[in-house]
Amino acid sequence: MSYRKLSSLPLQDYVKSSLSKTSLRTVKDVLLLSPLTVMNMLHLSADQCKELMDYLFSLCVPPKLSAYEMEEMEQHNSIPLGSKALDTLLHGGLLSGSLTEFVGPPGVGKTQWCLYITTKLLTAARGGVHPSAIYIDTESAVRPERIVEMMTNRYPELSSDIPQLLSRIHMFHPKTAASMLEILESLECVVVEKDAGVVIVDSIASMAVSLSSTQPKASQLSSWASKLKSLAHRLNICVVVTNQITTVHEPVPSELSLGGEPRPHPRHQVVDGRESALNQEDREVDPAAPEPHVLDHMGEGKSGRVCAIPALGNTWTHCITTRLILQYCADSAARQIVIAKSPVSPFAVFSYIITQGGITIQEKDCCYSYSGQDPGQFRIRVQEGIPLDTA
């Protein structure tokens, strides 16, 4: 809180005018000074200085809330996903004040889920207030005509209101990590000004590729996650990010191989694929951990199998509040959404299909378990390819 921009605070005009003539930019800059210095710099009376300093100090102290108040706040601004069973497990859908991640292979529907969530928010008036959405599109994957198609098919009664609904989607298109950081720094002002109910970053992984090499990528990603989680908590809104996958070679245990050298421990595993640079820093497994028993589906004598897992590594996994994994089904045209990490829900799997109206979750095709799996090492099913008839 101490790093909040002074320009984003609801201060008196004469205080803002005085601050603009100084080098003070954040709350911390002011609080590091003595009251007498602040009085002289800003030309304030003793009472005015005390009022300003007390207000700035209050911003740095987390507000006290009861459990009941927290529950009310979450329920008020949560975004339902359209499935009674799924929303029940998630305690209302996407919880406000938290950071939710959708991760999956290319083409599985991550952007479709983001657009679906956006339309759900825009078409749900809350107490007569119509919130807006902030959409940070890092891959230029959003097509306005797809949003129109979703709204037209799912909410035909709102067809005449589509232009007005589209005007409440505020888009950003950062191309570098530096431009992404600038957006995150000013995001709070934008959310307050536009009365946004959700912030979507699609995708966070594509921006991570261009992060500076002067400091560890895990540290920079943690900084981004901290800004997004702080924003969600302070303003009690939903923040959604999408992530990509990376591939790892799982070795075959030595007892399954046909002689030769023993297979390496997973901490020596080779990381490759498009996002490999994002995982090399924190992909290592604890050296003291026991070697897992890995079944080789490529046949005996093979060196191992290639598995898809969430990108950005274990540090990022600990930063997010909820992880929802999207994957392809082995024997079905439907796809699956997996609750891999959640503070309120058990490990669960639901099937869904992408339609003209957005996302349709198949209520009857679901299962859940309280045993779960490691959300950072979950093996994601990808689409291996579509055979073409060339005859």
**pLDDT tens by residue, 10-63:** 888 888 888 888 988 888 889 899 999 999 999 999 999 999 998 888 877 766
**Banded model confidence at residue 115, pLDDT cuts 50, 70, 90:** very high
More confident residue, 225 or 303: 225
Q: What is the pLDDT of residue 16?
A: 87
CB proximity list for 365: less than 8 A, separation 6 or greater: 334, 350, 351
**Banded model confidence at residue 279, pLDDT cuts 50, 70, 90:** very low
Q: Is the pLDDT of residue 359 over 90?
A: yes
Q: How far apart are CA 38 and CA 40, in angstroms?
A: 5
Q: What is the pLDDT of residue 183?
A: 93
Q: What is the pLDDT of residue 233?
A: 87
> Which amino acid type is present at position 28?
K
Pick from 31-45, 193-207, 211-225, 329-343: least confident = 211-225
Pair 270, 138: CB distance under 8 Å: no
Cβ atoms < 10 Å from Cβ of 124: 12
pLDDT, averaged across the chain: 80
**Banded model confidence at residue 138, pLDDT cuts 50, 70, 90:** very high
DSSP symbols for 299-368: -TT--EEEEEEESSHHHHHHH-SEEEEEEE-SS-SSEEEEEEE-SS--EEEEEEEEETTEEEEEEEEEEE
Q: Is the pLDDT of residue 150 over 90?
A: yes
More confident residue, 218 or 256: 218
**Banded model confidence at residue 300, pLDDT cuts 50, 70, 90:** very low
Pick from 123-127, 186-190, 217-221, 279-283: least confident = 279-283
Pair 101, 311: CB distance under 8 Å: no
Over residues 195-211, the pLDDT tens digits come to 999 999 998 998 888 78
For residue 385, is it left (φ>0), alpha (ψ between -120 and 50) or beta? Answer: left
Q: What is the pLDDT of residue 361?
A: 93
CB proximity list for 64: less than 8 A, separation 6 or greater: none
Residue carrying structure tokens 């996650």: 225
> Which amino acid type is present at position 388?
L
Q: How far apart are CA 192 and CA 132, in angstroms?
A: 10
Over residues 242-255, the pLDDT tens digits come to 999 988 876 655 54
CATH number of 69-244+314-369: 3.40.50.300
Q: How far apart are CA 96 and CA 172, in angstroms?
A: 22
Backbone phi, then psi, for 361, in 5-degree steps?
A: -90, 130
More confident residue, 222 or 391: 222
Annotated domain spans of the chain: 6-59, 69-244+314-369, 246-310
* Mean pLDDT, rounded, for 108-128: 86
Q: Is the pLDDT of residue 188 over 80?
A: yes
Q: How far apart are CA 278 and CA 248, in angstroms?
A: 13
Q: How far apart are CA 358 and CA 180, in angstroms?
A: 28
Q: How far apart are CA 376 and CA 101, in angstroms?
A: 12
Q: Is the pLDDT of residue 289 over 70?
A: no
Pair 223, 180: CB distance under 8 Å: no
Q: How far apart are CA 39 and CA 49, in angstroms?
A: 6
Q: How far apart are CA 362 and CA 99, in angstroms?
A: 25
Q: Strand 304-310 relative to strand 322-328: parallel, antiparallel, unpaired?
A: unpaired
Pair 290, 278: CB distance under 8 Å: no
Which DSSP helix (H) or strand (E) runs through 248? strand 245-251
Cβ atoms < 10 Å from Cβ of 388: 6
Q: Is the pLDDT of residue 258 over 50?
A: no
Over residues 153-185, the pLDDT tens digits come to 999 998 899 999 999 999 999 988 889 999 998
Pick from 94-108, 190-204, 282-296, 323-337: least confident = 282-296
More confident residue, 295 or 305: 305
